[in-house]
Amino acid sequence: MKFAIIAAGEGSRLADEGILLPKPLVEIGGQVMIDRIMQIFLDSGATEINVICNQLTTLVSDHLEACRQRGIPVRYVAKTTASSMHSLFELAPMLEGNEPFVITTVDTIFRPDEFKDYVSEWQRLADSGEADGLMGVTDYIDDEKPLYVQTDSQLRITAFLDAEEHPHYISGGIYGLTPRALNTLRTCIDRGESRMRNFQRALIKDDLRLRAYPFTKVLDIDHASDIPKAEEFLMHNSHCTNHHGHSTVLAILRAECFSPNSVEQDRAILMAVVRRLQGRGCTVQVISEEELPHDINTSVFDLVLSMGRLPETLAWLKTLHVPVINKPLGVERCARSVLQNIMLQEHVPVPPTQGNCGYWLKRGDAAAQTPEDVLFTADEQALQSAIEGFRQRDISDYVISAHITGDLVKFYGVLGTGFFRLFYPTDDGMSKFGHEAHNGPAHHYAFSANHLQKTAERLAFRVGITVYGGDAIVRPDGTFCLIDFNDWPSFSRCREDAADAIVKTLRSALATLLKVSSVPLGRARSAKNS
């Protein structure tokens, strides 16, 4: 497989902030950026590395020539271009042929082990003809003008957007493509277009089959302040495996206030997963989010399993550089008012706001913590009285929906594993607040369980949570609507099977840990010595 690096930018923002070396030669953790990218490429099986650098200085081309003379399989062209898309156009002659290729920008910082897995997956997709491109994406957003990547539940890319109200992924500046994409590139150039995002949109318009590959975190070096952030990220991940070679996991129990009448059940599902991980040789530390110390040493953990919902827990989880399940942003999106907007945008069937059978009033800022957070009211007058009660409790964020008659169905799932279970709570009498009585005994109306599963998985993907559950009402005619959706339920009715599925989805995160390359590429000459 061929690899290419776009390194033709001027680095003007870095220069304005006092960093005068060309961006490709700026050091991150003691290694210049272009060497770091080439080293990762070599560790991922590169037999050929093609680079475009800026012709305004010879520092980068001289450095690349020195690398070539040391035996690094690098070819380069020095030319100042109008945009990254034009830089790719200059590299196109080197990428012609029958092989797929991978391109990155020189200042893209990511985990080498994730990149190696990405390359393997891209090679598989290209060899099988399943896709024309595999784009590296991330849900870590720290970019001035990010390009949002819209996908379906199978990670097929459907659009590239400049803005999105509830973004899930953004482009990470990592592009795996087949030579077919070069035809689209030439057409873009002929039309006078510029910018890589317009090229990517053209790929969709030309019906190329693009897929997204999520990276834990991808950073760009645009400002001087980005350098210490990148060094911290790389330093953490270079020590993410303990000296025994086993994986170390942090498991966070939910605060008891978020487990009304189900503290033991919530603990049981997490501990079931913990036992399975320990049986596979993992070291697991279990702690309640209420006791989570602010100074906990996160550098020893390879993965975090979190049932946490406290705002301070979610804020802390966002600072970590390891996989977190469920992701804190996804948990935040499970707040009812946010979730309601997402379901409407995704055309998920939900109850209407008007009806003749009563109303439900639910707090919208957080998950229910007491029976008073979810109220049934018989009519609009009672509804207004309930709203006033919310206001007296300082709850101004709430959701109103009409009561729907039909069978209440609870569902549990683990995204990406095929695990999905349905239960009728009135059949076994298990209940948290007793609200099931408003729908009465289940009639077991016929409906498409497969359709409900696809709807739930689509919503879980859109919200951004892996371990999920919820409730639906099935009407007598077989149609259904979702009335609740939440992160990491207790799985009380199917705990052992659910634990197996959760461990299954963790395998990819634990399969390979960061390996520090032993192939030195050397350091660039300083500006003073050049």
Q: What is the pLDDT of residues 231-265, one digit of tens each?
A: 877 766 554 433 334 678 999 999 998 888 788 99
User: Taking a C-beta distance cutoff of 8 angstroms, is the pair 351, 473 a contact?
Assistant: yes
Please report which confidence band the pLDDT of residue 166 belongs to, taking 50, 70 and 90 as the band edges.
low
Could you tell me where the beta strands, DSSP code E, fall in 108-228?
108-109, 133-138, 148-151, 157-161, 169-177, 210-215, 219-220
Two tokens at 503? 């461990």
Same domain, 22 and 169: yes
Indicate whether 367 belongs to any domain. yes
Please report which confidence band the pLDDT of residue 529 belongs to, taking 50, 70 and 90 as the band edges.
very low
d(CA 22, CA 24): 6
Helix H or strand E encompassing 379: none
Indicate whether 318 belongs to any domain. yes
Please report which confidence band the pLDDT of residue 515 belongs to, taking 50, 70 and 90 as the band edges.
very low
What is the CATH classification number for the domain harbouring 412?
3.30.470.20
In the chain, pLDDT over 90 holds for what percent of residues? 51
Among residues 161, 486, 211, which one has the least CA distance to residue 343? 486
Q: What is the pLDDT of residues 222-238, one digit of tens each?
A: 888 888 888 877 766 55
pLDDT higher at 224 or 191: 191
In this structure, which amino acid lies at residue 108? Answer: T
3-state class of 499 per DSSP? helix
d(CA 411, CA 91): 51
Tell me, what's the pLDDT at 520? 36
Question: In angstroms, how far is CA 344 from the centroid of its own chain?
Answer: 22
In this structure, which amino acid lies at residue 139? Answer: D
pTM (two decimals): 0.56
User: Helix-strand-coil percent breakdown of the chain, rounded to 5?
Assistant: 35, 25, 40
Mean pLDDT, all residues of the chain: 86
By CB neighbour count within 10 A (0-12 exposed, 13-18 middle, 19+ buried), where does 511 fall? exposed
Indicate whether 233 belongs to any domain. no
Query: φ and ψ at 333, to 5 degrees?
Result: -70, -10
pLDDT higher at 435 or 62: 62
List the Cα angle 414/315/247 in 5-degree steps: 55
How many other β-carbons are positioned within 10 Å of the β-carbon of residue 446?
10
Same domain, 269 and 353: no
Domain closes at, from 191, 223, 255: 223
Longest dimension (CA), the chain: 83
Query: φ and ψ at 398, to 5 degrees?
Result: -150, 165
404 secondary structure, DSSP code: -
User: Taking a C-beta distance cutoff of 8 angstroms, is the pair 371, 388 a contact?
Assistant: no
Give the pairing type, strands 133-138 and 210-215: parallel
Same domain, 409 and 507: no
d(CA 397, CA 391): 9
Indicate whether 230 belongs to any domain. no
d(CA 403, CA 196): 49
Same domain, 302 and 416: no
The answer on pLDDT for 7 being more than 80 is yes
What is the CATH classification number for the domain harbouring 498?
3.40.50.1980
Mean pLDDT score, 195-207? 95
Helix H or strand E encompassing 300: none
3-state class of 44 per DSSP? coil
Please report which confidence band the pLDDT of residue 436 belongs to, taking 50, 70 and 90 as the band edges.
low
Cis previous bond, 439, omega within 30: no
Same domain, 218 and 169: yes
Please report which confidence band the pLDDT of residue 523 belongs to, taking 50, 70 and 90 as the band edges.
very low
Same domain, 141 and 55: yes
Tell me, what's the pLDDT at 36? 92
Please report which confidence band the pLDDT of residue 525 belongs to, taking 50, 70 and 90 as the band edges.
very low
Domain range enclosing 322: 239-326+494-516
Q: Give me the number of domains the chain comprises.
A: 3
Indicate whether 352 belongs to any domain. yes
Mean pLDDT score, 45-67? 91
Q: What is the pLDDT of residues 267-317, one digit of tens each?
A: 999 999 999 888 878 889 999 999 888 678 777 888 899 999 999 999 999
Same domain, 376 and 468: yes
Same domain, 354 and 459: yes
Among residues 8, 122, 131, which one has the least CA distance to residue 60? 8
Q: What is the pLDDT of residues 333-349, one digit of tens each?
A: 999 999 999 999 889 99
Same domain, 301 and 407: no
Distance set, CA 378 to CA 333, 336, 400, 448 (Å): 29, 21, 13, 30
Tell me, what's the pLDDT at 183? 95
Query: φ and ψ at 431, to 5 degrees?
Result: -155, 145
Q: In angstroms, how far is the first alpha carbon of the chain from the final one?
A: 34
Two tokens at 437? 């009585």
Please report which confidence band the pLDDT of residue 517 belongs to, taking 50, 70 and 90 as the band edges.
very low
Q: CB under 8 Å to 417, separation ≥6 — which residues?
A: 501, 504, 505
d(CA 184, CA 5): 19
pLDDT higher at 1 or 433: 1
d(CA 25, CA 28): 9
Q: What is the pLDDT of residues 62-97, one digit of tens each?
A: 999 989 998 899 999 999 998 999 999 999 999 998
Tell me, what's the pLDDT at 246? 62
How many other β-carbons are positioned within 10 Å of the β-carbon of residue 312?
11
Indicate whether 530 belongs to any domain. no
Query: φ and ψ at 360, to 5 degrees?
Result: -115, 135
Same domain, 263 and 213: no
Indicate whether 181 belongs to any domain. yes
Tell me, what's the pLDDT at 514? 30
357 secondary structure, DSSP code: S
Same domain, 373 and 463: yes
What is the CATH classification number for the domain harbouring 78?
3.90.550.10
Indicate whether 77 belongs to any domain. yes
The answer on pLDDT for 410 being more than 70 is yes
DSSP character string of 94-139:
HH-SS--EEEEETTEE--HHHHHHHHHHHHHHHHHTS-SEEEEEES
Same domain, 185 and 284: no
